[in-house]
């Protein structure tokens, strides 16, 4: 077993494109994914799991059906399973997602924005 420190700055420097989810760690059956984001995403939910959004750098918003959450650098939120949400960033934001392995970024919505080509960095 290999144990290594994950340096977010170094890992983000290896992500050249926006909206490409990259795996950086695994804990049990959970993946830790980094993404550089600057877009309005789609409404979706994850009926089978909660989802963690942690802002490493920048500002993002997560629309819910009954309000909007605003997250800045160093903040995180847990979106409970089954809750519809729509993340968006006006400027580039660097995010860490924590969710079970195999969880699709588009949840139950599917479509062209589904990222199935996850790569370890």
Beta strand pairing status for 22-27 and 119-120? parallel
Match 């949840």 to its residue by tokens. Answer: 107
> What mean pLDDT comes out for the span 67-95?
97
Contact 65, 31 (CB under 8 A): no
pLDDT digits (tens, 9 = 90+) for 40-64: 999 999 999 999 999 999 999 999 9
DSSP state letter for 42:
-
Region 18-106: CATH code? 2.60.120.10
Q: What is the pLDDT of residue 115?
A: 78
Q: What is the pLDDT of residue 2?
A: 82
Domain boundaries along the sequence of the chain: 18-106
The whole model's pTM is what? 0.91
């Amino acid at each position: 077993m290999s144990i290594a420190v994950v340096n977010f700055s170094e890992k983000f420097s290896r992500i050249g494109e926006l909206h490409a989810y990259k795996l950086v760690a695994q804990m049990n059956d959970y993946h830790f994914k980094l993404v550089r984001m600057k877009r309005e995403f789609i409404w979706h939910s994850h009926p089978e799991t909660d989802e963690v959004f942690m802002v490493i750098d920048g500002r993002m918003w997560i629309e819910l059906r009954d309000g909007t959450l605003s997250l800045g650098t160093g903040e995180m939120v847990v979106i409970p399973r089954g809750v519809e949400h729509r993340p968006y960033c006006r400027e580039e934001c660097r995010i860490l997602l924590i969710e079970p392995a195999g969880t699709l970024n588009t949840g139950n919505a599917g479509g062209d924005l589904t990222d199935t080509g996850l790569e370890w960095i």
